[in-house]
Chains A and B, each alone.
Chain A
Amino acid sequence: MGPQGSRTTRTVKVDYLARVEGEGALLIKLRGDRVEDVRLKIFEPPRLFEGFLRGRHYSEAPDITARICGICPIAYQMSAVHALERALGVAVHPQVRLLRRLFYCGEWIESHALHVFLLHAPDFLGYEDAIEMARHHRGVVEMGLRLKKIGNHLVSVLGGREIHPISACVGGFYRVPAVGELKSLEEDLKWALEASLETVRLSARFEYPDFEQDYEFVSLRHPEEYPLNEGRLVSNRGLDIDAPDYEDQFVEQHVKHSNALQSLLRKRGAYLVGPLARVNLNFDRLPETARQAAAECGFAVPCRNPFRSLQARALELAFACEEALRIIAAYEPPAEPRVEATPRAGRGCAITEAPRGILYHRYELAEDGTILAARIVPPTSQNQRRMEEDLRALAPRLLEQTPERMTWLCEQAIRNYDPCISCATHFLKVRLERD
């Protein structure tokens, strides 16, 4: 990292953006005190997975799409099975529905613990990375590691293994756990719930930049539950649709500087998905303990500060632990782990809440169950334009900073989104230019 350039142009270049999954580049051009350009490039190869899926049998889709991301494979499996079940007219057993929620809780716990403790907290405690932070805050890192491990364990009990789990299928699961297998997780989850509430309190002591944006928050909303697998897609600006109407309201746009697609609301442009959007739109659906912890820490909605997404993740950690305990306490294995589906021609769409925000899948099937077309819109492409707009708003504040500090603030602003660019790519390069 270091300043480069001629007398008229100043460029700050960073070789990669640490603690963000994937590869990409950020260019911010400043002229005087004006932001001339903000471009977040994501070098996304063609949407290979949509191509892989064409011509494959529908039953392969959950396992193929799970490989798109090593951090959130369950989200891909869940959106796939729900969309395919809609196409095939399959209704699952109520206990299977609950097991899927439990499965998702495991992924939220592991993903949020990783991001809060190992990727995001170092920004607020003033360390370059989790390794440096661990030298001075060993207890915090150990707590994060144990939370993450508990999430991993829950995922492996339900999914057969931690990485690219293999048990979820259209109609249910290939194998469901015995009562004892889930009960054995209870003690750890009770600890995890307490640790999550402690995380909420810890996050309240961090110093957050004074920065707010007028977001359109978009998330699922369910009549009774905090959303994971089901609900209507809503926003704070009147959006209220079911998954099949998603493509009427949203469009993916190709921008010249990036070969990834940016998703926009057709009528209003950029929008925000993920923990901060979910908490803002579903605060009343959080369990009482999480709402109380939020109140004690002075966290209230609406919250329009993207840096406080860390607090939203902490609240969702508490929700996921409590929800997992609730489901385990009431669990009775279904008589059959799955409902057999009969292939038929059809079209099915679904949206579920991945840790980073909504994940849309659409499938079109032939009569024999072959996939004719697939469409996948991941959370990172939904947030990409919003990330650029945050950086555009933040950029004027960068003028008085040193190049190192400028770069660090940009990286921190991107980390607010926990972007999983690795769904497609490797590392992010940041470049700041000043005329």
Chain B
Amino acid sequence: MLVIGCGHPDCGDDAAGLLTARRLREMGFQAAEAGGEATSLMAAWEGREDVLLVDAVLTGAPAGTIHFWDARSAPVAREALRCSTHGLGVAEAVELARVLGRLPARLRICGIEGRRFRPGESASPEVLAAVEKAARLIGEEMTCTNRE
């Protein structure tokens, strides 16, 4: 399984995906980082079967809520993923890849609900706690996957 953490390191909770990837690496797992720009993401998952994207989201749920979506089975909520600072971001990468037949066989999105995204801000305590929890959940799954 390929895990890609997306986001901006200096824009508050937008760092959620990157922080999760870093935490996973500290735990001994492999995890990549990306800014979240659509074409680079598509290149990053090229040739991979099982991909999990981790990014900050805004759905209206309480900050720190962790969502898991199956991006293969339904279009992703573009509005939810708009809090990342990219014109063509994670949602556009998924939908463009769907049209072009470039989606991995399995593609999921782990969305971590954020609440503050201003440049220069640090991630909120709720998101930092969620990062820890998401890393643990993903790590457990990666351990099981590797055993299979």
Chain A residues proximal to chain B, CB less than 8 Å: 16, 19-22, 45, 48-49, 52, 67, 70-71, 114, 118-119, 129-131, 134-135, 138, 141-142, 145, 148-149, 152, 162-164, 422, 424, 426-427
Contact = CB atoms under 8 A, between A and B. Distances in A.
Best-surrounded residue of B36, B42, B118 (most CB of chain A within 10 A): B118
Contact of A45 (B38, B87, B92, B118): B118
Best-surrounded residue of A16, A71, A114, A131 (most CB of chain B within 10 A): A131
A70 B38 contact: no
B10 A67 contact: yes
A427 B82 contact: yes
Given A45-B120, A163-B37, 17 more contacts: A16-B82, A19-B87, A45-B119, A48-B119, A70-B8, A70-B35, A70-B85, A114-B37, A129-B92, A130-B88, A134-B96, A145-B100, A148-B39, A152-B43, A162-B40, A163-B33, A424-B119
Best-surrounded residue of B34, B38, B88, B118 (most CB of chain A within 10 A): B88
A138 B86 CA distance: 23
A97 to B, nearest CB: 28
A141 B87 contact: no
Given A71-B37, A141-B96, A141-B100, A422 B88 contact: no
B9 interface: yes
Contacts of B42: 145
Contact of A131 (B8, B39, B99): B99
Nearest to B6: A163
B6 to A, nearest CB: 10
Contact of A426 (B10, B83, B96, B120): B83
B110 to A, nearest CB: 19
Contact of A422 (B10, B34, B86): B86
Given A152-B43, A164-B35, A426 B85 contact: yes
Interface string B99-132: 1100000000000000001111000000000000
Contacts of A48: 119-120
A119 B87 CA distance: 9
Contacts of A145: 39, 42, 100
Nearest to B94: A131
Contact of A130 (B8, B85, B96, B118): B96
Nearest to B83: A426
A21 B100 contact: no
Nearest to A23: B85
B95 interface: yes
Contact of A114 (B39, B85, B99, B100): B39
Best-surrounded residue of A70, A142, A148, A422 (most CB of chain B within 10 A): A70
Nearest to B100: A134
B99 A149 contact: no
B95 A131 contact: yes
A157 to B, nearest CB: 14
Contact of A152 (B36, B40, B83, B100): B40
3 cross-chain pairs, A with B, having the tightest CB-CB distances, nearest first: A163-B35, A48-B120, A21-B87
A164 to B, nearest CB: 7
Interface string B14-53: 0000000000000000000111111110110000000000
Nearest to A52: B120
A357 to B, nearest CB: 17
A145 B85 CA distance: 20
A48 B12 CA distance: 13
Nearest to B98: A131
9 contacts: A16-B82, A19-B88, A45-B119, A67-B10, A70-B36, A70-B86, A149-B39, A422-B85, A426-B82
Contacts of A426: 82-83, 85, 117
A129 B39 CA distance: 14
Contacts of A130: 88, 92, 96
Given A45-B119, A422-B86, A131 B92 contact: yes
Given A134-B96, A149-B39, A163-B35, A21 B85 contact: yes
A424 B33 CA distance: 22
